[in-house]
Amino acid sequence: MNIFKLAAIGAILASSSAAFAQDSLTVDPGYYKMDMKGIVGGEVMKEESTEECITSSDNSLTYDQMQDIIGSEFDCRYENTQKSPGMIISNPVCKMTSMEASLTGVSTLTYTNDTVELLFEGNMSAMGNTIPFDTEIKVYKILDVCP
C-alpha cells in the first residue's frame, strides 16, 4: 500500500464525507516521505518511516476510495467537526471491528498540495480497559522528481 493511501486512512479517521472540503484529497506528484508513530499508554509502540514515488496517476483519492482502503476495519462517527481551508478537526468515535476495540479523541488533519498530516490524540478502549492512544502520520514531499 503506498504512503499516500496510508495518509488517506488518517484522513478518513479524521473526517466524515460531509466534512471533507472537496471530493478528493490530492497531492502534487513527487517523491514523498511518510513518518508514522503510534503511542499507546505513553509508550511508542510503532514508529516507522518510508519513502515512495507518487505519480500523477496515483496522486488523488476520493472519499469513497479512502473508505474502501480501510474497508471494514473501522466504523466511525464524527462529532464537533470544524472545517477551515487545509484543516479538519473532529472528535471521531471509531469501532475497530477486528479486535472489538474503540477509539475516541480529537483528530486534526492538515493538508496542502505537498503535505498531509494527521494527529489523533485520544483513548483506546478494549476488554474493559481504557488507555491513552495517540497517532501521528506525516506525509511530505522531499523531491519534486522521483529518483
- pTM here is 0.78
Per-residue pLDDT of the chain (147 residues; tens, 9 = 90+): 444 445 555 554 555 444 444 556 778 899 999 898 888 888 998 888 888 898 888 887 776 666 666 555 677 777 888 888 888 888 888 887 777 888 899 988 888 889 888 888 999 898 899 999 888 888 899 999 999
Closest CA to 64 of 16, 100, 107: 16
Domain that holds residue 86: 3-143
- Residue 12 has, within 13 A of its CA and on its CB side, a CA count of 23
Which residues have a Cβ under 8 Å from the Cβ of 101 and sit 6 or more positions away? 95, 124, 125, 126
Total number of domains in the chain: 1
